């Protein structure tokens, strides 16, 4: 079975992490397949939105610990390759021109929690849980921290990475980490509804919206206003209803 399932629903591409026996833990093969699939979808003219979910009862358990034995100083090239793809996967979401909805169907832990929150829209099953347990294993929630501190703010982010305690869907919604919490049987329906609505938007407008959103989030206020002003002028060039 492939590590990643790819299925199109009209203009929406659904990516399903497919290692249910490992709770969709991110080994090197799945990480590389996911990165390439995200980039390929972004370059596909007939695809306008994406949904990312997991097969089986879990969304993603994080890094596949069974590979850690090979990640030693004696195998520096593999260590570098693994670190590189991990950073690329977690960093690519905000660089895509197309929106990504994460459908968090079950436990999302460590790197899996990072993927769950990396999407532009996050829909979470009421029975799912989310957490960063790395510190309990004597390691650091390292790559995922960049997105987390931006999504959750400093106090909440530090609590999550420093205690390693998982939170339920209701708490994730309360903290603003996810957009909706729905019954498990409604998860994919809700995720696809969001994706279809965004897929209906003109591609240029969506790409520009994403680019400006993530840029403005990192800029000081006055610079964000300046970037918005520049986009305001630019967007008039691709409006279909311009005079």
- The confidence score (pLDDT) of residue 69 equals 61
pLDDT of residue 65: 78
**Distance in angstroms (rounded) separating the CA atoms of residues 93 and 210:** 10
Determine the Cα–Cα distance for residues 190 and 26; give it in Å rounded to an integer: 25
pLDDT of residue 161: 97
* Paired residues of 130 in beta bridges: 108, 167
Using DSSP, state whether 127 is helix, strand or coil.
coil
One domain, residues 137 and 36: yes
Spans of the chain below 70 pLDDT: 68-75, 237-243
**pTM for the full model?**
0.93
Number of structural domains the chain divides into? 2
How do strand 49-54 and strand 167-168 relate by DSSP bridges?
unpaired
CA distance 18 to 3: 5
What is the domain range of residue 39?
Answer: 4-199
Please tell me whether residues 180 and 223 are part of one structural domain. no
Nearest one of 143, 51, 151 to 102, comparing CA atoms: 51
Looking at residue 243, what is its pLDDT?
43
Residues 157 and 226 in one domain: no
Residues ≥6 apart with Cβ < 8 Å to 193: none
Clarify whether 134 is annotated catalytic: yes
Examine residue 243 and state whether it is found in any structural domain, yes or no.
Answer: no
Question: Which residue in the list 3, 32, 36, 134 is annotated as catalytic?
Answer: 134
Is residue 240 assigned to a domain? no
């Amino acid at each position: 079975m492939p590590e990643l399932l790819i299925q199109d629903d009209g203009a929406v591409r659904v990516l399903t992490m497919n290692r249910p026996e490992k709770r969709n833990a991110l080994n090197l093969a799945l990480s590389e397949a996911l990165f390439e699939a995200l980039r390929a979808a972004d370059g596909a003219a007939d695809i306008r939105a994406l949904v990312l979910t997991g097969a089986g009862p879990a969304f993603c358990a994080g890094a596949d610990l069974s590979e850690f034995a090979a990640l030693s100083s004696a195998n520096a090239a593999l260590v570098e390759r693994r670190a590189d793809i991990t950073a690329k996967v977690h960093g690519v979401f905000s660089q895509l021109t197309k929106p990504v909805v994460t459908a968090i169907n079950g436990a999302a832990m460590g790197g899996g929690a990072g993927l769950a929150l990396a999407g532009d829209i996050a829909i979470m099953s009421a029975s799912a849980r989310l957490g960063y347990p790395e510190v309990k294993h004597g390691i650091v929630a390292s790559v995922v921290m960049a997105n987390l501190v931006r999504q959750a703010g400093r106090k909440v982010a530090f609590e999550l990475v420093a205690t390693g305690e998982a939170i339920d869907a209701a708490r994730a919604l309360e903290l603003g980490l996810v957009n909706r919490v729905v019954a498990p049987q409604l998860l994919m329906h809700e995720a696809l509804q969001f994706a279809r609505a965004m897929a209906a938007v003109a591609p240029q407008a969506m790409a520009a919206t994403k680019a400006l959103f993530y840029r403005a989030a990192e800029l000081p206020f006055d610079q964000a206003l300046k970037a918005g002003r520049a986009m305001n002028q630019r967007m008039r060039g691709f409006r279909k209803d311009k005079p």
